[in-house]
Amino acid sequence: MRILVTGGAGFLGSHLCERLLDAGNEVICLDNFFTGRKRNIAHLMDNPYFELVRHDVIDPFKFEVDRIYNLACPASPPHYQYNAIKTIKTSVMGAINCLGLAKRTRARVFQASTSEVYGDPAEHPQRESYWGNVNPIGIRACYDEGKRCAETLFFDYHRQNGVDIRVVRIFNTYGPRMLPDDGRVVSNFIVQALRGEDLTIYGDGTQTRSFCYVDDLVSGFIRLMEHPSLTGPVNIGNPGEFTMLELAELVIKKVGGPSKITHMALPGDDPKQRRPDISLAQKELGWNPTVSLEDGLDPTIDYFRKLLTEA
Ligand code: NAD
Ligand code: UDP
């Protein structure tokens, strides 16, 4: 198949492009390089089945493709808050452009949605049926509401125009190729530990997150995309739940060195807990995470160690 991956030079997108090429597909990677890097896809550039297009998803685009994975959007809070208006435009107009292309070409189209649609959840763990608890005017709203609106667009194009959609709700995912200055907790803690700096816990560190290793996530993406009929939304994530204090202690134990823990102010609207209910993915996709946080941290730490040594 010929497959378009928007945001294909980013952390998740580059792993997805690689996996799709390995399976014998042609891949067009579209990216504006806001948080994506050529380094992430440099090893794919010689592959005759790989094509790179520098383009912004808010501007229309045309390709003849069989599948569209829409991943373009900054994912870390500092990056998506850097230009909040651009972030919401990317989610909403990017979705409209992907859906319009899918409508014309009859391609199947996949939306990388997020656990952030659940906001600061009043239901725990979160099932797909939960409508969420999002502050529509807070500092995370450009991302959360942008992603919620994109989901609405996907389901309206599906109902109104028969577009073949797949929607995944991704829970915190980590692994090699995250940016060292990304601002997300796993990359922050690892980079701080490798530099021998103290690990910055925001708030008291009792808030929880569930961390999925990138390879597991990409397997879930492809299973959903190739499912004959399931539109989603489907939660994909690892239900292992950790406090930020536990994560910090684990990273310090694995990296070693003199780092301790320091506390900083908790950012606005920071969700207190998050854990996916993955029974739908287990039942319909036969999908389960296979890499524990303990195991997934090792290749991630190795990646950052190498990156920091080169820099
Ligand atoms: P990332 O920032 O590494 O990747 C995003 C990619 O999109 C980058 O390559 C960036 O340059 C590109 N991009 C941003 N705006 C664009 C635009 N206007 N036009 C074209 N390209 C643009 O983040 P990621 O972690 O790889 O996330 C990928 C997708 O998955 C995002 O949609 C994100 O919201 C979603 N997601 C990720 C996580 C996670 O834990 N990693 C969790 C939930 C949802
Ligand atoms: N966090 C932290 N220290 C950091 C970065 C993040 O304690 O250096 C916290 C953050 O406040 C949040 C959790 O870790 O409670 C996850 O943050 P991240 O930005 O990775 O993801 P999100 O909040 O979008 O789930």
| CA contacts within 13 A on the Cβ side of 83 | 9
Q: What's residue 133's pLDDT?
A: 95
Q: What's residue 134's pLDDT?
A: 95
Mutate which of 194, 244, 250 to test ligand 2's pocket (most atoms within 8 Å of Cβ)? 244
The domain spans of the chain are 2-171+213-238+275-289
Q: If pLDDT is split at 50, 70 and 90, which confidence band does 36 have?
A: very high
Q: What's domain 2-171+213-238+275-289's architecture?
A: 3-Layer(aba) Sandwich (3.40)
Residue 186: nearest ligand to its CA? 2
**Which residues lie closer than 8 Å to 137 by C-beta, 6 or more apart?**
none
Nearest CA, atom 15, ligand 1 = 73
Compute, in angstroms, the gap from residue 63 CA to the centroid of ligand 1. Answer: 20
Phi-psi region of 33 (alpha: psi -120 to 50; beta: other; left: phi over 0): left
Compute, in angstroms, the gap from residue 188 CA to the centroid of ligand 1. Answer: 17
Q: Is the pTM of this model over 0.75?
A: yes
Q: What's residue 310's pLDDT?
A: 85
Residues 247, 185 contacting (CB under 8 angstroms): yes
Catalytic residue among 69, 118, 143, 157: 143
DSSP annotation string for 211-240: -EEHHHHHHHHHHHHTSSS----EEES---
Across the chain, mean pLDDT equals 97
Mutate which of 202, 259, 273 to test ligand 2's pocket (most atoms within 8 Å of Cβ)? 202
Nearest to 168 by CA among 103, 227, 121, 81: 227
Phi-psi region of 73 (alpha: psi -120 to 50; beta: other; left: phi over 0): left
Encode pLDDT of 253-311 as tens digits. Answer: 999 989 999 999 999 888 899 999 999 999 999 999 999 999 999 999 999 999 999 87
Encode pLDDT of 50-102 as tens digits. Answer: 999 999 999 999 999 999 999 999 999 999 999 999 999 999 999 999 999 99
Give dist(CA 105, CA 58) in Å, integer: 19
